[in-house]
Amino acid sequence: QSALTQPASVSGSPGQSITISCTGTSSDVGSYNLVSWYQQHPGKAPKLMIYEGSKRPSGVSNRFSGSKSGNTASLTISGLQAEDEADYYCCSYAGSSSRVFGGGTKLTVL
Amino acid sequence: QVQLVQSGAEVKKPGASVKVSCKASGYTFTGYYMHWVRQAPGQGLEWMGRINPNSGGTNYAQKFQGRVTMTRDTSISTAYMELSRLRSDDTAVYYCARGWELLAQKGLDFDYWGQGTLVTVSS
């Protein structure tokens, strides 16, 4: 199972919007609406931000949204804030109880 | 409140085994899958496998088949991950993370994480 493909880095200024893509295959992202997104600050455990492609857990800001088209899922962060600077990982269900993560994207808030 | 508390850091020699524990509290341990994810220094997240704490059934990533064993002790709400024949590239932080509700097969996935356990493999 190959890792999902994410851009290594993205950046944006405070108040702007950014989108992080996550490209998989017809065996994972394309077959299931079960992509999750995680935010990880340095030295911390990841935090769930989006599940089932577009749903937000309780307590997660509505500035975070998710979508999917074909084999590519996307995470959009609107109204960028300094605290959003972190690494972001996508993860997809890949059948037979397995999961596959993306390589991660470093978000820099300029 | 839901908490996953992992065992402390380990230093192991190549070829040895390591067993990491993850004690759950604040929810019904046997009602949710438990997954293990690792992260090598400066690298991304890697899924290792999961256990059904109710039945003990396991699913492992192909990469770790034959080297990883996931078990649980329901009497103390604790999951374990044992990795054998350690190599230097197994040096990583190992996390447990709560998965789907057993009966749901979808929903919140990895909504709670342990604090991570650093395993260092060095001669």
- pLDDT at site B83: 98
Put simply, the answer to whether A98 touches B61 (Cβ < 8 Å) is yes
- Nearest chain B residue to A6, by CA: B44
Put simply, the answer to whether A96 touches B47 (Cβ < 8 Å) is no
User: CB of A57 within 8 Å of any CB in chain B?
Assistant: yes
Could you give the 3-state DSSP secondary structure of residue A50? Answer: strand
φ and ψ at residue B29, rounded to 5 degrees: -55, -40
- Nearest chain B residue to A104, by CA: B44
* Cβ proximity of A6 and A87 under 8 Å: no
User: How many angstroms separate the Cα of B98 from the Cα of each of A110, B25, B40, B41, B53?
Assistant: 34, 11, 20, 23, 11
Give the closest residue to B109 by CA, choosing from B117, B100, B120, B122: B100
Structure tokens at B101: 């509700």
Chain centroid to CA A103: how far?
A: 11
User: CB of B113 within 8 Å of any CB in chain A?
Assistant: yes
Chain B residues whose beta carbon lies within 8 Å of the beta carbon of residue A59: none
Beta bridge partner(s), residue A92 = A35, A100
- pLDDT at site B106: 86
Could you give the 3-state DSSP secondary structure of residue B28? Answer: coil
User: Chain B: nearest CA to A15, how far in angstroms?
Assistant: 27
Contacts of A30 (CB under 8 A, 6+ apart): A24, A70, A71
CA dihedral angle for residue A65, residue A69, residue A72, residue A78, rounded to 10 degrees: -20
Give the closest residue to B63 by CA, choosing from B51, B50, B48: B48
Instruction: State percent of chain A over pLDDT 90.
Output: 96
Q: Catalogue the E-assigned strands of B14-53.
A: 18-25, 32-39, 45-51
* Cβ proximity of B21 and B8 under 8 Å: no
- pLDDT at site A109: 97
- Residues A37-62 have a mean pLDDT of 97
Chain centroid to CA A48: how far?
A: 9
* Cα–Cα distance for residue pair B25/B6, rounded to 1 Å: 12
The pLDDT tens digits along chain B (123 residues) read 999 999 999 999 999 999 999 999 999 999 999 999 999 999 999 999 999 999 999 999 999 999 999 999 999 999 999 999 999 999 999 999 999 999 888 889 999 999 999 999 999
pLDDT value at A2 more than 90: no
User: CB of B106 within 8 Å of any CB in chain A?
Assistant: yes
